Amino acid sequence: MKSDAKPDITPSAAELKKIAIDLLSRRDHSRQELKQKLLLKGGDADVIAEVIDWCTSENYQSDSRYCAMLVRAKVNKGYGPAVVSQAARENGIDRELLTQTLEELEIDWFELALSQYQKKFADKPITDFQDKQKRMGFMQRRGFNSAQIQYALKPE
């Protein structure tokens, strides 16, 4: 039997609660992420919704706490606002919550862009147009916008 096959028996609400608490004790999960993992365990969608609501009411699960953790993790890895926004979308975090979290954390995206640029390229001067394009592409893939990239590339 394949390991990714659904179980033959649908887990009860109590079993799903136990699984959810076990998952949440390791790290925070968004509602969407938790739902997907419980569905993989063979849970019924209605029961899963009730379990997740219970986890939220008991403060075991919190999208705002998850969002803050996600933003901090991405920023600590040197990613810009576009990558952070995409990661939040992929994990079911709504735009308003992300905006609120970003305001609370007061991230200076320009300074982050500058530090990532300096970390990657140190004090090596830009040699030609192709080199500048390569550097700008790197920064764009890290999730920084054009204003932040220009700030990072500006001569000292």
User: Residue 30 corresponds to which tokens in the numbers above?
Assistant: 């968004």
Listed residue (77, 53, 2, 63) closest to 29, CA to CA: 63
**How much is the mean pLDDT over the chain?**
92
Q: What's the confidence (pLDDT) of residue 154? A: 86
Q: State mean pLDDT over 73-88.
A: 97
Instruction: Say if residue 21's pLDDT is above 70.
Output: yes
Opening angle at CA 100, ends 99 and 104, nearest 5: 115
* Residues 40, 34: Cα–Cα separation, whole Å: 10
Listed residue (108, 109, 118) closest to 154, CA to CA: 118
Q: What's the confidence (pLDDT) of residue 5? A: 53
Q: What's the confidence (pLDDT) of residue 8? A: 60
Q: Which residues contact 115 (CB under 8 A, 6 or more apart)?
A: 78
Asked whether the beta carbons of 114 and 108 are under 8 A apart, the reply is: no
Instruction: Say if residue 95's pLDDT is above 50.
Output: yes
Q: What's the confidence (pLDDT) of residue 1? A: 44
